[in-house]
Structure 1
Amino acid sequence: GQDFWADLNAMTVFETTEFDQLRRLCTPPCRNTSSIYNTFWKFFCRDHFGWREYPESVVRLIEDANSQGLKEVRFMMWNNHYILHNSFFRREIKRRPLFRSCFILIPYLQ
């Protein structure tokens, strides 16, 4: 196998002459099916410890609030109370799709 460095913000690949960019395959999230093709999102926030992944329960709250058009989400995590506003953030938050290797997907592709 080969190892490559990738910048998922810029969608570029480094240390290879074989590939020059990345592409995300995304589908709408769907909790009711177990299809390998559904996109599963992970949410991360940056604090003084670095990037930390939100627990699944908090992700559900954020996704439900976004789908309902709510302006804020309140929750408790890591012994702190948080309020996320759609209009501004006090903490940097990123949403990333769960990485699925092409080797995992090959049996499902035609």
Structure 2
Amino acid sequence: EDNPNNDEESSDDGPHFPVSHEIDLKQGTKSVSCLTLDPGGLRMITGDFNYEMKMWDFSAMDKNLRSFRTLQPCEAHQLKTIEYSPVGDMILVISGNCQAKVLDREGIKNY
């Protein structure tokens, strides 16, 4: 008896996206609370419960897998949300206090 729902090739045993490569990036001692990728997928920013924001550049990263910049944009407040602008030239940072910050792409200049 031929049953189309019993086909071995149509199993739902895992994700349907490529997972052949992975790396383990070290954020720090506390858990990551937020992360974002830039529109081109070349940079990532992580924020953690230790108030730190780390900036990662995949195109310039070497085998040590280190971030290129670490900063505390909101002093002693946990980072809740980090988001690149649609064109990737600015970064919105929202922390546990009531004031959001906007930084340039390098995380240096406040607007």
TM-score, L = length of structure 1: 0.27
- Quick check: which one's helix share is greater? 1
Bigger RCO of structures 1 and 2 (CA < 8 A, at least 6 apart):
1
